[in-house]
Amino acid sequence: MNISHAKPRETLSRWTMAALFAALLSVPPALAQEDGGDLTETYGISTFGDLRYGPDFEHLDYVNPDAPRGGEFSMSWTGSFDSLHPYTRQGRPAVLASVFFESMLESTVDEIGTYYCLLCESMAFPEDRSYVIFTLRPDVHFSDGTPMTAQDVLFSYEILRDEGLPSFRAAIPLTIDSAEVLDDRRIKFTFNPDAPIRGRIDTAGGLPVFSQASHEAAGIPFSDSRLDPLIGSGPYVLDSVVPGERTVFRRDPDYWGNDLPINVGRYNYDTIRIEYYGDSVAAFEGFTAGNYTFRQESSSVQWATAYDFPKIQNGTVIREELPDGTISPGQSFVLNLRRPQFQDARVREAISLMFNFEWTNQTLFYGLYAPNVSFWENTDLAATGQPSEAELAILEPLRDELRPEVFSEPAYALGESDPDRAFDRRRARRALGLLEEAGWTAGDDGMLRNTDGQTLDVEFIEDSPLFERIINPYVENLRAIGVNARLTRIDNAQLSQRERDYDFDIITDHFPMGYEPGSGLRQYFGSASANDSVFNTAGVADPAIDSLIETVVNAETQDDLTVAVHALDRVLRWERFRVPQWYNPNHWVAYYDMYRYPETLPPYSLGLIDLWWIDPEAEAALAQAGAF
């Protein structure tokens, strides 16, 4: 589990959907089917390669198996919450509201596309992977002590399919056709025959499991917001909650999975406390005062200028940059394609051109960020240059549906801008040319208008004061060329609602892509999800993109997948519905000198919650010194 340094935009929902991305096969021993065929029975699956960990592994390579348990992890979050139910659109869920729940399968953060049994002791499936049978571990139980049964797994699947987040309701039937309980410990998922083989098993195995009895006892609809969470089987339970201010999670001493090899050295804190602040300034002051003890910084200004307070100077607080080898979270200004003024790609490109990343990075970010060009930035899945022959083989059948630039130009990128001036005149001339081609001309007042006399209105909505210094120069650049641009500050609850209702022109959002993308792409870019997904923020609805997504989903080898993603990345970028922002190649962390972490951190997660631990002697010394 990792806490991203991307701004929180439906973050919990995205975490809970991470398991709906791709994975596939495995090759251990076989069992007999009733029809005389063979079933592969295994403890783990891997998409294209071998499993890193064998059936008898003792612990994950990246943990400290001897890490002491105890102490409190505490951090801040900017904003508020009014729910501990992350699987409904009602309310704003708290950070880590999904910590109570587990799924059949668990991924690791030193491999790509691998899943190991967690709640299940094994899974079995035929060669065509038309179904999978999960067998629950005999000792798995919920945090209230009641045993988990296959009926709970069935209930969780059905209620997420029928009443969960729209993203679940849309994605589940595309892959899973039905489920049935075979006995108390076994459940069979039968897959949609049209679903790609890759991603079937981990979609079923990635669904969270709730206690059916806890839902029925609550007596409220699943879709209702709630502060009394459903009962799960995870390592932490709710200790206390102050709505909008604080949550405290307590490690369950009777957690059923304490001794599993995949959990050795993990979940070391006795408690996890999240303090909520109204703004980032107050949150930082809370850290310096010792109101919480771990901070993952997301502001370059803060990182460059604010970490010189006395506790840093005397060694009470440690400031570190730790390498981040993960995919860029895809943070971008996202244009709402449902708006009439954004229908023309030339308009969208003109708006993009007026954001000056180089000036922003040099002037506002102290040169600490890297440009976020591709949807798969910081991986070899990013499209580069002209399309290869292998890409063209995928793209040519769609030529009449794709923009000609896809074939004639390198993968779309804004190119470098003037780092010394916020207003780049060269880009402004190019933007005005595109707008004129699209039918927007300047009136007597200097504002651009279309043939109906309407101004080109662009509203940015934002809930963070930190982003004002970034957006305001962008707004000024747009107004300088005649775009009627403005920034509107709203609170985070309003922002969430307007995002969910698609009631915006431009927002800041993320495109957290995977290393082995699969059916989850339909949720971000598929036509079917354009008006029914919290992930398809832009409202992308294009048959050619749908076709490319299916090519990615159906890729059967790593080479095929890489080429298909290159082609998709290329086409998405030429649609110009986002203005790429930036990403950070490092984790910026500051913490009171009692936290410790493994000597070698895994490449794909910082692992704050489940890999780090607290040195009890150091904690006691800091407490005695009054550091917090």
CATH code (residue 149): 3.40.190.10
| Residue 506 within a domain | yes
Domain termination site, one of 188, 218, 248: 218
Hey, what are 447's tokens? 């504002």
Confidence of residue 33 (pLDDT cuts 50, 70, 90): low
Query: Cα separation of 337 and 527, whole Å?
Result: 12
Estimate the crossing angle of helix 543-553 against helix 558-575, to 10 degrees: 160
Which domain range does residue 342 map to?
A: 332-583
- In this model, does residue 457 exceed pLDDT 60? yes
| Kind of pairing between the strands at 105-107 and 114-117 | antiparallel
Residues 527 and 379 in one domain: yes
* Average pLDDT of the residues of the chain: 91
As a whole number of angstroms, the distance between CA 531 and CA 374 comes to 24
Which two three-digit tokens encode residue 136? 């629950």
**Residue finishing a domain among 199, 218, 237:** 218
Same domain membership, residue 350 and residue 205: no
| Digit-coded pLDDT (tens) for 465-486 | 889 999 999 999 999 999 999 9
Rounded to whole angstroms, the Cα distance separating 264 from 257 reads: 9
- 155: nearest Cα among 200, 107, 212: 212
Name the H helices within 44-165: 150-163
Q: Quickly tell me which residue has 């899943």 as its tokens.
A: 115
Average pLDDT, stretch 410-432?
96
Give me the phi and psi of 72, to 5 degrees please. Answer: -125, 130
Distance between CA 50 and CA 174 in Å, rounded? Answer: 27
Regarding whether 209 and 340 lie in a shared domain, the answer is no
**Domain final position from 218, 249, 278:** 218
**Contact, 318 vs 591, CB < 8 A?**
yes
Per DSSP, the residues of 315-359 read TSEEEEEEE--SPP---EEEE-TTSGGG-SHHHHHHHHHT--HHH
> Is residue 92 within 8 Å of residue 84, measured between CB atoms?
no
Alpha-carbon gap, residue 103 to 87, rounded angstroms = 14
Does residue 603 fall inside a structural domain? no
Q: Give how far Cα 568 sits from Cα of 342, 552, 580, Å.
A: 21, 8, 17
In a shared domain, residues 339 and 461:
yes
Is 431 inside any structural domain? yes
**Taking a C-beta distance cutoff of 8 angstroms, is the pair 104, 123 a contact?**
yes
- In the chain, the amino acid numbered 274 is I
207 and 337 co-located in one domain: no
Q: Is residue 183 part of a domain?
A: yes
CB atoms inside a 10 Å sphere around CB 422: 19
Instruction: Give yes or no for residue 7 having a pLDDT over 50.
Output: no
Q: What percentage of the chain has pLDDT greater than the value 90?
A: 82
For 54-77, the pLDDT digits (tens) are 999 999 999 999 999 999 999 999
Question: What's residue 174's pLDDT?
Answer: 87
Return the amino acid letter for 487.
L
CB–CB of 40/127 below 8 Å? yes
CATH code of 349's domain: 3.10.105.10
Q: Could you identify the residue written with the tokens 């080429």? A: 563
Question: What local confidence, expressed as pLDDT, does residue 37 receive?
Answer: 61
Indicate the number of domains in the chain: 2
- Asked whether residue 307 is domain-assigned, the answer is no
Hey, what are 89's tokens?
């659109």
State the first-to-last Cα distance of the chain, in angstroms, to the nearest integer: 26
Residue 338 and residue 212 share a domain? no
Q: Which residue has the tokens 């923020």?
A: 537
- Sorting pLDDT into bands at 50, 70 and 90, what band is 199? confident
pLDDT of 14 above 60: no
Residue 97: predicted pLDDT? 95
pLDDT digit string, tens, across residues 579-617 = 999 999 899 999 999 999 999 999 899 999 999 999 999
**Segment 138-158 mean pLDDT:** 98
- Count the helix, strand and coil residues of the chain and give each as a percent rounded to the nearest 5: 30, 20, 50
CA 289 to chain centre: 31
Distance CA 305, CA 257 (A): 43
Q: What is the pLDDT of residues 542-554, one digit of tens each?
A: 999 999 999 999 8
Q: Model pTM?
A: 0.77
What the block records as the tokens of 341 is 């003024």
Strand residues in 9-71 grouped as ranges (E): 30-32, 38-42, 44-46
pLDDT at 106: 97
Dist CA 101 CA 114 (whole Å): 20
Residue 8 lies in a domain: no
CA angle 534, 87, 153 (to 5 degrees): 130
- The pLDDT, as a whole number, for residue 9 is 33
CA pair distance 578, 541, nearest whole angstrom:
14
pLDDT bracket for residue 124 (50, 70, 90): very high
Is a pLDDT exceeding 50 seen at residue 6?
no
Residue 572 binned pLDDT confidence (cut-offs 50, 70, 90): very high
User: What is residue 514's DSSP assignment?
Assistant: -
Q: Are 133 and 125 within 8 A, CB to CB?
A: yes
